[in-house]
Structure 1
Amino acid sequence: MVEGRIRVAHGSALPEWDVVAGARFVVALEAPAPADSVAAFVRLADDDRASLESLVASMPPAGGPSDAVGLVWWPDPVGDPGEVTLVVRGAAAVDLETGSGDRRLEAGEVHPWRLAEFAEVGALRVSTVGAHSLRPAADRSSEILQGTGLPGRATSVEWESPSALDGRRRGFADADTRVAGGPRPSIDAADEPESEPTPGRVVMRYRLDGGAVRDIRSVRVVFGRKPLGSRAGQDGVELVAIPGASASVSGSHLELRAEGRRLVATDLRSTNGVEVRRGVRSYRMRSGESIVVSPGTLLRLGGDTIIEILPPRIDPQDDRDRQAPA
């Protein structure tokens, strides 16, 4: 497992989670979680190359009986353990101790899930939205996880970095604790921290049907034969009508959404679906499904319309032209 200590807690009258710890991740699934999702995470537990894409693909379908998910992923398990990527959905919440203060990440109104990256994380806890206190309760017992791939049930799961274990440890603040002279902040899409500073902002890119390289300058890009609907009235949304698209491409077929340095693809409940190709492997997205896509991924819409995900570039411009999040 990643450096530090992972501990699960058991409390009374609190929602339970099915927890799986891996070499590069910890996931809490709303209990009882589907057996196939638990099994998928168990299979990935000992894989020190487990990607964020494979972990997100293992999550239970959104809107099902096990909707809430809290996922912690370490991009480099042998590097700085303080750099983490989080994915939350439904009623899951993650509280963090960082070098800039205490933070909380919740999905809020973001669908199908929220993704954020953090640096200088000393400790974190995955629990439930609305928990009144994040300090250990008197009636709660806890145990330290000693290995990977052993699913268990708990009311929360916690991780502490080596520096926290060496004496920097301090209790998590209550929800109403004030830090740095102000209220405990929650994470908004406009201020999600990046794991590493860059000389400019990261610009995600794609290519449509082998044409020119295009930058993703908006928060969302919607592709389709004639993309219309409520999304057109939102700020930060770009509508891309596919030239010469056949009837096999839906009016609003696919959405690409920038989440920090990641790119999320969502099938907009299209008629003919989206085929995902990564190298020699391919599969079809479920209707309404969202996945994290990496450079080199090909997304086939309907017939022969292909969107190629390209490596991002660094924009040296300042933030004056940054799009406001939708």
Structure 2
Amino acid sequence: MVSGAVSSSAVAGAPAWDVIVGDRFIAALAAPAPEQVLHSLAEAASDDALELERLVGLVPSGRVDPVESFGLVWWAPGATSSVTAVVRGDVVVDLASPGGSRRFDARGIRPWHLADFDDVVALRITHAAAPLEHVRASGERVLHQRASLRTSVIEWTTAEGADAAPPAPWIDADTLLASRRLEPGPGDAVADTIITPRVAVAARHGDRVEDPAIAGAIAPAVAESSTETASGSPTAPTTDTAVRAPRFRIGHGDPVVIANPVLIGRKPMPPRIAGSGDQPELLTVESPEGVISGTHLELRLVGSRLVATDLHSTNGTVLRTASGTRRLRAGESIVVLPGALLDLGDDTIVEILSAQGAPGATRTDSRPHR
């Protein structure tokens, strides 16, 4: 069984999950899960050579008999506090670290949403409707190696964390918990909060997205705060962290530092359902021929990487890099590096620039955009 302590809890009226606990993974599928899928996962539970790609492939997520809701948590060989989470549908993974905790959900991403997390001391797999609470692993302890069970909640803590004090409270929109003395002295605050830019939260948690060739779809993993000018253009962040963030420009316009998710289109609109406090900035571009979609492209920081996502645009998005040109699939996400060009149509080119202060960041790029 995975290193640490695993426990399960049955909650009256809550959705049930069929769970397989392996040597290096925990898988939870919406019950009743297909018997053949559970059998395949059970067979893989003791496979020392099991790779993440194969594990994810055991759960159907295509057009033929897909499992609509599932969550996987994976530990690489020798890893204890670094995990990879894969979710689809209504499942969520709540992860606790020394600095606080966060909820990782699918956000409607297909075929699934994948991200890596470091410094994890406890986690929970449950339904998206479950309240955000501390991961206490207070349910019934799962003692058998390579277990198979049906439950409402499955939790894991490190061996050290199983008997330790509860983890820090949940991080809300713009708050980090300050370090707390075990024995507060006179006048010490019992618990302080520090207002901090969202980018700092990403760095603190070490979030990073798996290689898109493996993930198939990269999606938001970090919630950002938002500011917008009267004209709808994103405002440049002023924090030191934001200054080091990637930048972009449209055509020969001024560079814009990316600190918050940016939605670009002919008439961009925020998502109908906001996810985890996200407040994207809206950037309107001209499209005389009407080929650019209302909300065409998203640029978002995921950890230290910049991810571009085609938002199922009608005309599509063409990516041009030094290695070639290709059209993104509808809804496809990909990590983009400085020098990449994203062609939305109607002569609208989004150019990815180096972070301010990086080598070559002040260079004037005279390359044609067509």
Q: TM-score with structure 1 length normalisation?
A: 0.56
| Structure 1 segments unaligned to the other structure (5+ residues) | 207-215, 222-227, 242-251, 261-316
Q: Deviation digits for residues 87-126 of structure 1, max 9, x if unmatched?
A: 0110010111113321110110322111110111010000
User: Does structure 2 retain, via aligned residues, the 8 Å contact 1:105–1:186?
Assistant: no
| Structure 2 segments unaligned to the other structure (5+ residues) | 178-192, 215-304, 337-353, 362-370
Larger radius of gyration: 2
% identity of equivalent residues: 27
Q: Which residue of 220, 232, 241 corresponds with 2:316?
A: 232
SS in 2 for 1:49: coil
Q: Deviation digits for residues 208-240 of structure 1, max 9, x if unmatched?
A: xxxxxxxx997479xxxxxx9637248999952
* Equivalence for 1:307: none
Letter in 1 for 2:52: L
Q: From the superposition, tell whether residues 13 and 193 of structure 1 become closer, same or farther in structure 2 (CA, over 3 Å).
A: same
1:246-325 pair list within 5 angstroms: 258=334
User: Does structure 2 retain, via aligned residues, the 8 Å contact 1:104–1:186?
Assistant: no
Q: Deviation digits for residues 111-162 of structure 1, max 9, x if unmatched?
A: 211111011101000011121353589xx98321223333210001000012
How many residue pairs get aligned? The number is 233
* Equivalence for 1:159: 156
User: Does structure 2 retain, via aligned residues, the 8 Å contact 1:97–1:123?
Assistant: yes
d(CA) in 2 for partners of 1:128, 1:173:
17
User: Does structure 2 retain, via aligned residues, the 8 Å contact 1:219–1:236?
Assistant: no
User: Does structure 2 retain, via aligned residues, the 8 Å contact 1:232–1:239?
Assistant: no
d(CA) in 2 for partners of 1:253, 1:119:
30
* Equivalence for 1:126: 125
d(CA) in 2 for partners of 1:92, 1:205:
23
* Equivalence for 2:16: 16
1:36-115 pair list within 5 angstroms: 36-62=36-62, 64=65, 66-76=67-77, 78=78, 80-115=79-114
Q: From the superposition, tell whether residues 99 and 231 of structure 1 become closer, same or farther in structure 2 (CA, over 3 Å).
A: farther
SS in 1 for 2:40: helix
SS in 1 for 2:125: strand
d(CA) in 1 for partners of 2:335, 2:23:
24
Q: From the superposition, tell whether residues 62 and 171 of structure 1 become closer, same or farther in structure 2 (CA, over 3 Å).
A: farther
* Equivalence for 2:244: none
d(CA) in 1 for partners of 2:171, 2:315:
37
d(CA) in 2 for partners of 1:229, 1:120:
37
Q: From the superposition, tell whether residues 32 and 85 of structure 1 become closer, same or farther in structure 2 (CA, over 3 Å).
A: same
Letter in 2 for 1:170: P
d(CA) in 2 for partners of 1:47, 1:135:
32
Q: From the superposition, tell whether residues 234 and 31 of structure 1 become closer, same or farther in structure 2 (CA, over 3 Å).
A: farther
d(CA) in 2 for partners of 1:130, 1:229:
30
* TM-superposed deviation, 1:49: 2.2
* Equivalence for 1:33: 33
User: Does structure 2 retain, via aligned residues, the 8 Å contact 1:4–1:161?
Assistant: yes
d(CA) in 2 for partners of 1:43, 1:7:
21
* TM-superposed deviation, 1:192: 9.8
1:112-191 pair list within 5 angstroms: 112-134=111-133, 142-170=139-167, 173=170, 179-180=176-177, 181=193
Letter in 1 for 2:75: W
Q: From the superposition, tell whether residues 48 and 318 of structure 1 become closer, same or farther in structure 2 (CA, over 3 Å).
A: farther
Letter in 2 for 1:89: R
Q: Deviation digits for residues 251-281 of structure 1, max 9, x if unmatched?
A: x889985589xxxxxxxxxxxxxxxxxxxxx
d(CA) in 2 for partners of 1:203, 1:173:
28
Larger CA deviation: 97-106 vs 153-162: 97-106
Letter in 2 for 1:116: A
Q: TM-score with structure 2 length normalisation?
A: 0.50
| Structure (1 or 2) with the greater strand fraction | 1
Letter in 2 for 1:230: T
Structure with the larger RCO, 1 or 2 (CA within 8 Å, 6+ apart): 1
